[in-house]
Structure 1
Amino acid sequence: MASGDWQRKVAEWLRGRRGPDDLAVFCVNLAMVLVLVNVFVHVWALAIAALAILVYGMFRIQSKNLGARARENEAFLRALGPARPWFQNPRAAWGELRAYKHVRCSSCKQRVRVPRGKGRLRVTCPRCKTKFEVRS
């Protein structure tokens, strides 16, 4: 078999599929963590749960129902909420937390980022243009 032949076959098989999204990657990573925990505690239910989560993650990667998978992924990302940056890039999230403080606008509840350690700051909300003071 020529080297380009298997690549063409894989590309044909993947046509019309979305591939790994955030929820699928989370499922595969969670399954790997459960398998590692199971190495030490030896609980058969944990192994079955890890296998089921892994199968679901692989199903998501190979599914051709793109609309349903996109809606599920969006619901997952909404459920993560503010914890999302900590899952995607923990190092950058830690740096963001140390360098900036996040405050909410008193009128429209928009989140505004202000630098830490600058004392009292007068902030203008980017959404409603309300001015308010915060301590950074």
Structure 2
Amino acid sequence: MLEFFNNLRIRYSEFMVGRYGMDKLNWAILVAAIVVHVIYRILGFFFIRVISWILIILLIVRFISRDHGSRTKENIWWEGKSKEITAAIASADRSWRDRKTTLYFNCEGCKTKLSVPRGKGKVRIVCPNCGQEMFKNT
């Protein structure tokens, strides 16, 4: 029995030579497929199951692909988008935690997010990025 598993491992290793394998986008697709499948199990709608299977097929195709260039471009695109989403969530979390002590404004010139202490009355705000001057009530 041990010999069978050793042969299986060797054959799998030989099959995967030159294949793309797993990356962050594949992990995200896998998690999305699992979440969609759980939603299908709860709601029971057939089209949700179809979406789950499409995600699994996409995962397998990316996993066994030999086109490293295209898969790498897709992964770089995904990492950029996931960083944007993570940064937006972190910014919203920080704004929520500091809501009692800090007010946030967007610069009228360059749309940079500026923070000002709360409760100081009318203050002059100068954007450090573009130099735009604003007067706001805190």
- The TM-score normalised by the length of structure 2 is 0.56
Name 2:71's counterpart in structure 1: 69
C-alpha distance in 2 between matches for 1:29 and 1:107: 40
CA contact 2:62–2:71 (8 Å) conserved in 1: yes
Question: Which residue does the alignment assign to 2:126?
Answer: 123
Could you report, residue by residue, the CA deviation over 1:71-90 in whole angstroms, capped at 9, with x for unpaired residues?
334555666795x1279xx6
Assess if the C-alpha contact under 8 Å between 2:26 and 2:63 holds in 1. Answer: yes
Q: Give the letter for the 2:47 counterpart.
A: A
Gaps of 5+ in 2: none
Superposed counterparts of 1:9-48, under 5 Å: 13=16, 17=20, 19-21=22-24, 23-48=25-50
Percent of residue pairs identical: 12
1:116/1:67 CA distance change after superposition, 3 Å? farther
SS in structure 2 at match of 1:114: strand
Letter in 2 for 1:96: R
Partner amino acid, structure 2, of 1:124 = C
Counterpart residue type for residue 48 of structure 1 = V
> Which residue of 47, 52, 55 corresponds with 2:54?
52
Task: Specify every segment of 5 or more residues in structure 1 that has no aligned partner in the other structure, as ranges.
Answer: none
How far off its partner does 1:56 sit? 0.9
RMSD: 4.2
TM superposition shift of 1:15 = 6.3
Q: TM-score, normalised by structure 1?
A: 0.57
What letter corresponds to residue 41 of structure 1 in structure 2?
L
Partners of 2:19 and 2:119 in 1: CA distance:
51
1:85 aligns with 2:86: yes
Summarize the Cα distance change of 1:42–1:18 in structure 2 as closer, same or farther, 3 Å threshold.
closer
Aligned length: 125
